């Protein structure tokens, strides 16, 4: 297990302004950890952003993203955010109860890192750590029926939801085309493979709606989209930060 020093680095925040809804639920710091950027946005008690999406907090992901360096970057974003009483962190990897099992993005030094407990010490508030793709999905799905999210970036991830509840640690396996081959194969050939994969996934899961997100999502819209397919902006994923706290955990 990676040894990480649990050093608090964020001063306590006043929560007097953090009750924006009638039921006085606290504000939530929603964090999306990516391979290039880390983004953060505070949501009110109803899950609405307290500032426009285009004004989210950004920080460069550390060039050597050790647990210590990355968690300090997240904590630094917390110090610059509006007051919050809890946090949701979307992390690119496989997690169980807030503990990182593995991360193909950040490597083996993240194995068994208790991300949620360590971030609670740094942010000095309750923290839930979930897969980044699940956090993104909660921010865009309708919460009815079977919904599938494909995130297309430097790699491709998937999240499958049934009535708003995600299947834990879902992977594409052999279905995944490599986004890095987009330029090598050409847009037309790669896009054809992508939509063939989407058709295979439709037969496999019988989804009611498909969402396509991630930095390269716009490339998928070069052809007319089926009526049950939606292209979604990555920033919308930050809107899912309240979901881990309202009972919508995992199947």
pTM: 0.84
Residue 153 to residue 69: CA distance in whole angstroms: 23
pLDDT in tens, 61-77: 999 999 999 999 999 99
CATH number at 129 reads: 3.30.420.40
pLDDT in tens, 27-45: 999 999 998 999 999 999 9
Q: How confident is the model at residue 112 (pLDDT cuts 50, 70, 90)?
A: very high
Higher-confidence residue of 169 and 220: namely: 169
The reply to whether 158 and 225 lie within a common domain is yes
Find the helix or strand (DSSP H, E) in which 139 lies.
helix 132-140
Domain span holding position 111: 28-136+241-245
Residue 142 to residue 83: CA distance in whole angstroms: 28
57: β partners = 40
Contact 1, 61 (CB under 8 A): no
The reply to whether 160 and 102 lie within a common domain is no
Q: Is 101 helix (H, G, I), strand (E, B) or coil?
A: strand
The reply to whether 129 and 152 lie within a common domain is no
Nearest to 31 by CA among 249, 212, 239, 248: 239
The reply to whether 119 and 142 lie within a common domain is no
The reply to whether 189 and 117 lie within a common domain is no
pLDDT at residue 248, rounded to an integer: 62
The reply to whether 33 and 117 lie within a common domain is yes
């Amino acid at each position: 297990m990676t040894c990480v020093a649990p050093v608090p680095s964020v001063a306590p925040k006043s929560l007097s302004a953090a009750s924006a809804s009638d039921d006085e639920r606290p504000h939530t710091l929603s964090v999306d950890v990516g391979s290039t950027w880390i983004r953060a946005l505070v949501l009110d008690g109803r899950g609405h952003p307290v500032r426009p999406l285009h004004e989210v907090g950004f920080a460069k992901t550390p060039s050597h993203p050790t647990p210590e360096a990355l968690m300090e970057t997240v904590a630094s974003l917390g110090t610059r955010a509006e007051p919050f009483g809890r946090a949701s962190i979307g992390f690119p990897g496989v997690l169980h109860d807030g503990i990182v099992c593995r991360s193909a993005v950040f490597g083996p030094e993240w194995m068994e890192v208790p991300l949620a407990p360590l971030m609670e010490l740094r942010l000095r508030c309750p923290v839930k750590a979930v897969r980044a793709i699940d956090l993104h999905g909660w921010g865009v799905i309708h919460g009815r029926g079977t919904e599938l999210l494909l995130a297309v970036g430097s790699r491709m991830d998937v999240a499958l939801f049934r009535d708003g509840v995600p299947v834990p640690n879902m992977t594409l396996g052999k279905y995944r085309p490599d986004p890095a081959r987009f330029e090598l194969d050409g847009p037309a050939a790669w896009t054809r493979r992508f939509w063939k994969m989407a058709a295979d996934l439709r037969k496999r899961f019988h989804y009611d709606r498909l969402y396509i997100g991630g930095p390269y999502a716009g490339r998928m819209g070069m052809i007319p989209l089926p009526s049950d397919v939606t292209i979604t902006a990555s920033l919308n994923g930050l809107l899912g930060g309240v979901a881990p706290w309202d009972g919508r955990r995992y199947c």
